[in-house]
């Protein structure tokens, strides 16, 4: 692994022609830039117009989403023609979709849980059988082979069918809801691979969770439902067309993400708050309620399923089920002096969390190098991690000493040989248990349950906890980047609970807080230290533990851990977003953006390409072929302003989308002479369904040379109400506007009013407003960047 210094040198060496355009191939060639301050993709030092990002370890062209309402004549007509019944139909459908999202997410979560518990359960039972027969080598071989096989299935699915299904998917969902469309993220293939890949990877005993993937699964379901099925086999129901826009898709995907978190933790309020705090960029009160409805459906489904399973019809999936740690029966007691260990846990969580982020960042960069080399390398990497994990899980418990069972403990069975149970016998004689095997030779969920267990203060030897902690630190770093669906929640919970419990053991009788609660607090602190979520995490832990009395100390821990972590580096999701080069727009503008105007920014870009209200076909084709812009301002020349003195004025008519221009060319809606059209002419030709179509390519359109000489009236298809800023606006405020209203294009109008001044002086896109891009194009700004801004 190259050191930071090395990689910096390399980065400089590999970038001799700073001004050169970097295209897809180039960025494939130089992905090795390892500086921690740069994303994996190189960009040239002008404002990027060709946005690239790494999606599923492949460099893809990404597009922004259009959350703005495109108010052109046709839209207004369509909207006006909607009857009351249609509006009710639309509202009803929205709620139905929210309900379906919850229902399906709940069912799939149930299926994943059942599959994982049964596969892993029978696997572990067999291993325990071998150990009881003292056939240790056979046990090792059996465990390693079955884990290898499960990992192989998961990895092959991911590598061959849906590379975007690897990893947690949460950063991409975050980016999507921020307004970045990452290709192939929400398809049917991804959904299926994610489900089965997640089952394989979790059942294989890898150090990863099903929580992150469940969030992605929820979003996939939502996206598929919203668009009426997979890309190739969409249901073309008439009323589904209302949902064929980025706005409604965003809303439903938010519901899906909330449902996913809810399904992962059985935390309905926590799920909604997670979507609100961590994922969603925009939020409305109505959406809050709809996503809450989705999560309630999930909870009902999970509850029904647990009722069924309690009667023993779910194989090895026993009672207790999804909730990992219910301490509602435990009386939480703490004294004023207990604040000290609580603060210590918070600080440790913050430090370790940011350290974990830092190291994981480096590992991900290294893995990226390996993954770039091809599918085989990806597979081999995943399988080596699986082999290492199996060997450690099986071998390490032999290091632990056998502990005699304590009959005073509430747990009745000791030692336990079944799959679940808190006192695993492993290699110990009757009446003794192996505490490390209790934590390692079990599913991750059970491991968490065991380490969280209360009233078992002398169960774990500090040495065992230390081994457990060290092992999961290593596994947590090396497992996340491999090509299988993997969540970050569980590895972090395992790591955190270990040091939490260790601290509890160290405190001994100096505290009245139970060791199990220490483990919970440790897990919470590391989550806050790495992911920097606060409110949603707090509520998730509240719902997980089902005990309100824990709330105040949980909050203190989270607050401290987040504050400490924030002083070192950004959250792990932000690091991944930056690493992948996804153009995520932050909530708060950088301080230097206040001293920098959009006019200066626009000067650094190529001049705006504007269209006339009635434009020649050849010109339109020309522009579409030679640019990649997704929207063009429409300007009328020689109009007479109602209040002005001079005629010959120019006027800003609005903004037309590339997709709509392509539609016009496809439908060959040309005029022989240069004239305005009536509304009915447009309505005859176009429906709003046509305009919702965004996939048209200019290359697919054939225009004859006769047609080239004809005209198009762009007025009816132009969005007449684009948001604008005056050129003297600061970038900071423009960014606030851009993000708050959910824009894709922001027009810059001149501050001067005179003949000859063009009515539009620039267009800003998401890429132009990202501080990284601006600082690349204007290096002098970076100097003032050192100054911090008050929150």
Distance from C-alpha of 524 to C-alpha of 325, rounded to nearest angstrom: 13
* CA quadruple 60, 64, 65, 70: dihedral sign: negative
Pick 198 or 294: Cβ nearer a copy of itself = 294
Q: Which 59-118 positions form the footprint of a copy of itself (CB under 8 A)?
A: 69, 71, 76, 79-80, 82, 84, 87, 90-91, 94
Least Cβ distance, residue 33 to a copy of itself (angstroms) = 31
Least Cβ distance, residue 38 to a copy of itself (angstroms) = 26
Cβ(713)–Cβ(675) below 8 Å: yes
Position 296 contacts a copy of itself (CB under 8 A): yes
Q: What is the DSSP letter of 498?
A: H
Least Cβ distance, residue 525 to a copy of itself (angstroms) = 15
Distance from C-alpha of 502 to C-alpha of 369, rounded to nearest angstrom: 36
Position 320 contacts a copy of itself (CB under 8 A): no
Question: Chain centroid to CA 93: how far?
Answer: 26
Q: Which 263-282 positions form the footprint of a copy of itself (CB under 8 A)?
A: 268-269, 272, 276-277
Residue among 30, 122, 130, 283 that touches a copy of itself (CB under 8 A): 283
Cβ(250)–Cβ(148) below 8 Å: no
Pick 508 or 790: Cβ nearer a copy of itself = 790
Tokens, residue 325: 């740690």
Position 145 contacts a copy of itself (CB under 8 A): no
Pick 36 or 288: Cβ nearer a copy of itself = 288
Residue among 299, 503, 572, 602 that touches a copy of itself (CB under 8 A): 299
Mask 470-499, x = binds a copy of itself (CB under 8 A)? ------------------------------
Position 726 contacts a copy of itself (CB under 8 A): yes
Cβ(139)–Cβ(127) below 8 Å: yes
Pick 41 or 542: Cβ nearer a copy of itself = 542
Supply the DSSP string of 370-402, one letter for each residue.
HHHT-HHHHHHHHHHHHHHHHHHHHHGGGGSPE
Taking residue 357's Cβ as centre, other Cβ atoms within 10 Å add up to 23
Residue among 720, 772, 775, 778 that touches a copy of itself (CB under 8 A): 720
Q: Which 728-787 positions form the footprint of a copy of itself (CB under 8 A)?
A: 728-730, 733, 736-737, 740-741, 749-759, 761, 787
Pick 319 or 789: Cβ nearer a copy of itself = 789
Position 406 contacts a copy of itself (CB under 8 A): no
Distance from C-alpha of 289 to C-alpha of 237, rounded to nearest angstrom: 26
Least Cβ distance, residue 63 to a copy of itself (angstroms) = 23
SS3 state at 64: strand
Q: Which stretch of DSSP H or E encloses residue 462?
A: helix 462-479
Residue among 13, 235, 376, 646 that touches a copy of itself (CB under 8 A): 646
Distance from C-alpha of 188 to C-alpha of 413, rounded to nearest angstrom: 45
Pick 395 or 641: Cβ nearer a copy of itself = 641
> In degrees rounded to 5, what are phi and psi of residue 715?
-50, -50
Asked, as a colleague might, if the bond just before 529 is cis with ω within 30 of 0, I would say no
Position 604 contacts a copy of itself (CB under 8 A): no
Cβ(223)–Cβ(253) below 8 Å: yes
Pick 1 or 337: Cβ nearer a copy of itself = 337
Distance from C-alpha of 54 to C-alpha of 729, rounded to nearest angstrom: 32
Position 28 contacts a copy of itself (CB under 8 A): no
Q: Contact region for a copy of itself (CB under 8 A) — 115-123, 503-511, 686-694, 716-724?
A: 716-724
Q: Which 495-534 positions form the footprint of a copy of itself (CB under 8 A)?
A: 534
> In degrees rounded to 5, what are phi and psi of residue 124?
-70, -35
Least Cβ distance, residue 740 to a copy of itself (angstroms) = 4
Q: Which stretch of DSSP H or E encloses residue 134?
A: none
Number of residues that bind a copy of itself (CB under 8 A): 95
Position 639 contacts a copy of itself (CB under 8 A): yes
């Amino acid at each position: 692994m190259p050191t930071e210094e090395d990689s910096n040198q390399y980065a400089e060496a590999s970038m001799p022609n700073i001004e050169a355009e970097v295209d897809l191939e180039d960025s494939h060639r130089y992905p090795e830039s390892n500086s921690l301050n740069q994303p994996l993709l190189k960009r040239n030092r002008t404002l990027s117009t060709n946005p690239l990002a790494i999606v599923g370890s492949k460099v893809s062209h990404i597009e922004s989403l259009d959350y703005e309402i495109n108010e052109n004549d046709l839209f207004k007509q369509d909207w006006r023609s909607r009857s009351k019944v249609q509006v009710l139909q639309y509202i009803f459908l929205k709620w139905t979709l929210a309900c379906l999202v919850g229902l399906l997410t709940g069912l799939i979560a149930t299926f994943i849980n059942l599959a994982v518990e049964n596969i892993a359960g029978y696997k572990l039972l067999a291993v325990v059988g071998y150990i009881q027969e003292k056939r240790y080598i056979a046990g090792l071989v059996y465990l390693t082979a079955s884990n290898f096989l499960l990992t192989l299935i998961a990895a092959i699915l991911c590598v061959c069918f849906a590379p975007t299904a690897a990893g947690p998917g949460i950063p991409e969902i975050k980016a999507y809801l921020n307004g970045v469309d990452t290709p192939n993220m929400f398809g049917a293939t991804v959904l299926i691979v994610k489900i089965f890949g997640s089952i394989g990877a979790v059942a294989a005993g890898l150090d990863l969770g099903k929580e992150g993937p469940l969030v992605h699964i929820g979003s996939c379901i939502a996206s598929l439902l919203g668009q009426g099925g997979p890309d190739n086999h969409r249901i073309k129901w008439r009323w589904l067309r209302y949902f064929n826009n980025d706005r409604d898709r965003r809303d439903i995907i938010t519901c899906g993400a909330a449902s996913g978190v809810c399904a992962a933790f059985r935390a309905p309020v926590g799920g909604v708050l997670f979507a609100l705090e961590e994922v969603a960029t925009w939020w409305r009160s109505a959406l809050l309620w709809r996503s809450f409805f989705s999560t309630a459906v999930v909870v009902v489904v999970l509850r029904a399923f647990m009722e069924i399973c309690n009667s023993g019809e779910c194989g090895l999936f026993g009672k207790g089920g999804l909730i990992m740690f219910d301490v509602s029966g435990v009386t939480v007691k703490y004294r004023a002096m207990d604040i000290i260990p609580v603060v210590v846990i918070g600080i440790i969580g913050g430090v370790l969390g940011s350290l974990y982020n830092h190291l994981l960042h480096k590992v991900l960069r290294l893995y990226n190098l390996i993954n770039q080399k091809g599918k085989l390398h990806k597979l081999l990497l995943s399988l080596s991690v699986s082999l290492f994990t199996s060997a450690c899980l099986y071998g390490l418990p032999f290091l632990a000493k056998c502990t005699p069972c304590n009959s005073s403990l509430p747990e009745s069975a000791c030692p336990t040989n079944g799959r679940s149970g808190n006192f695993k016998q492993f290699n110990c004689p009757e009446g003794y248990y192996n505490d490390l095997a209790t934590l390692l030779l079990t599913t991750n969920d059970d491991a968490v349950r065991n380490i969280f267990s209360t009233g078992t203060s002398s169960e774990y030897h500090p040495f065992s906890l230390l081994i457990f902690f060290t092992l999961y630190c290593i596994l947590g770093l090396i497992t996340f980047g491999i090509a299988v669906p993997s969540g970050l929640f569980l590895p972090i919970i395992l790591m955190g609970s270990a040091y939490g419990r260790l601290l509890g053991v160290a405190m001994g009788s100096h505290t009245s807080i139970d060791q199990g609660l220490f483990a919970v607090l440790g897990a919470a602190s590391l989550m806050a230290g790495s992911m920097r979520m606060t409110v949603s995490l707090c509520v998730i832990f509240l719902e997980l533990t089902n005990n309100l009395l824990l709330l105040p100390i949980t909050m203190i821990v989270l607050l401290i851990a987040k504050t400490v972590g924030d002083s070192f580096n950004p959250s792990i999701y932000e690091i991944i977003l930056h690493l992948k080069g996804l153009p995520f727009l932050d909530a708060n503008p950088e301080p230097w953006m206040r001293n920098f105007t959009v006019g200066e920014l626009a000067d650094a870009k190529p001049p705006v390409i504007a269209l006339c209200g009635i434009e020649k076909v050849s010109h339109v084709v020309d522009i579409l072929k030679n640019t990649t812009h997704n929207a063009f301002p429409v300007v009328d020349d020689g109009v007479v302003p109602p209040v002005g003195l001079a005629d010959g004025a120019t006027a800003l008519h609005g903004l037309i989308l590339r997709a709509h221009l392509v539609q016009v060319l496809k439908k060959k809606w040309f005029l022989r002479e240069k004239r305005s059209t009536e509304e009915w002419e447009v309505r005859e030709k176009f429906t709003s369904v046509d305009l919702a179509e965004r996939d048209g390519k200019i290359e697919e359109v054939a225009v004859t040379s006769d047609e080239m000489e004809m005209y198009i009236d762009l007025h009816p298809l132009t969005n007449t109400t684009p948001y604008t800023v005056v050129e003297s606006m600061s970038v900071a405020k423009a960014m606030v506007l851009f993000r708050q209203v959910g824009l894709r294009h922001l027009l810059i109008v001149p501050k001067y009013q005179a003949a000859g001044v063009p009515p539009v002086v620039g267009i800003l896109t998401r890429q132009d407003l990202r501080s990284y891009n601006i600082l690349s194009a204007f290096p002098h700004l970076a100097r003032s960047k050192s100054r911090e801004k008050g929150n």
